[in-house]
Amino acid sequence: MKRVKIDLQSALQLSASKPSSGLKKVSSENLDVEYTVLLPAAVADELMAQLQQSVEYYEGDLTKVLRILLFVLVNYEGVIRSVKVFGKWHEIPRQQVAYGDEGMKYTFSGVTIKAKPWIPILIDVRDMLHTISGYQYNFVLINRYRNGKDHIGEHRDDEKEMDKNTPIASLSLGEKRTFVLKHRDARIKRPSRRDIPPVKIELEHGSLLLMNPPTNEYWYHSVPPRKSAKGVRINLTFRKINLLS
């Protein structure tokens, strides 16, 4: 396929200058999300190509998380006989890296990782999102899904450093994948469980999703595996982090 020569910085500025009326609201109980296909295909293609060249993902131990398994043996009277704790390192099912202002850190499944310093292409995207949303972002987490097996499980972005008042701005490039939101009360055991239907959004190439507060406090999100997905997908979630001293 022939690559169209594009001045990406100007193209992103142009996308940012368009009124954000294209953003469509998706609502449910305590859920406030906005979605639009923001970038024209040629701009999204160029951005994806440049990110493929310039982003350097974590390697080695930084790609692993520790899962703790706790086994408690009780006798028939309910008295604890023994407790065993097993820890196992797992490779995360995708590639990942964080960039941000100096001193920014990212904690994921109990592991804290230093963000890399901004690179020019990410500064351009960050500034575009600032113009669109009106919020300043000082951190971006990049997830790269190599194929349909790569995924991210149900979680909330609830690190204590996250600024709760700043929407998370999520830009998707490449293979379309489903973003699934589940209310926390729909995940718990009966009888307390509530029948709140999940919300599913197809995240397209060049699309922007804004997760406004208080969504992230009440709703878990995930990108499940999708067998039919063959291509690479890159997702950038821009966030505001307040460094706690």
User: Is residue 119 exposed (0-12), middle (13-18) or buried (19+ Cβ within 10 Å)?
Assistant: middle
Within the chain, what is the greatest distance between any pair of CA atoms? 73
Is 35 a binding residue for ligand AKG by CB under 6 A? The answer is no
Q: How far is the CB of 138 from ligand AKG (least distance, A)?
A: 15
Helices (H), the chain: 8-17, 41-54, 120-133, 215-218
Q: How far is the CB of 54 from ligand AKG (least distance, A)?
A: 19
Binding mask 120-159 for ligand AKG (x = CB under 6 A): ---------------------x-x--------x----x--
Contact call for residue 106 and ligand AKG (CB under 6 A): no
Is residue 95 involved in binding ligand AKG (CB under 6 A)?
no
Smallest gap, in angstroms, from Cβ of residue 203 to ligand AKG? 6
For position 43 contacting ligand AKG by CB under 6 A, the verdict is: no
Of 108, 121, 116, 164, the C-alpha closest to 139 is: 116
Count residues near ligand AKG (CB under 6 A): 12
Tell me which amino acid residue 86 is.
F
| Nearest Cα residue to 245 out of 138, 113, 114, 103 | 103
Burial of 30 (0-12, 13-18, 19+ CB in 10 A): middle
**Gap between the Cα atoms of 125 and 140, Å rounded:** 10
* Distance in angstroms (rounded) separating the CA atoms of residues 114 and 134: 26
Q: What span, in angstroms and rounded, lies between the C-alpha atoms of 183 and 97?
A: 27
Nearer to ligand AKG, 67 or 155 (CB): 155
φ, ψ dihedrals at 79, nearest 5°: -85, 135
CB of 122 vs ligand AKG, minimal distance in Å: 15
Find the shortest distance in angstroms from Cβ 175 to ligand AKG: 11
Q: Are 100 and 115 in contact (CB under 8 A)?
A: yes
Q: Which of 237, 238, 240, 241 binds ligand AKG (CB under 6 A)?
A: 237
Is residue 12 involved in binding ligand AKG (CB under 6 A)?
Answer: no
Q: Does 221 bind ligand AKG (CB under 6 A)?
A: yes
Q: In terms of CB distance, is 166 or 172 closer to ligand AKG? A: 172
Q: Which of 35, 99, 139, 179 binds ligand AKG (CB under 6 A)?
A: 179
Per-residue contact track with ligand AKG, 158 to 177, x per CB under 6 A?
------------x-x-----
CB 170 within 8 A of CB 129: no
Decide whether 181 or 196 has the Cβ nearer to ligand AKG: 181
Which stretches of the chain bind ligand AKG, using CB under 6 A? 141, 143, 152, 157, 170, 172, 179, 203, 221, 223, 235, 237
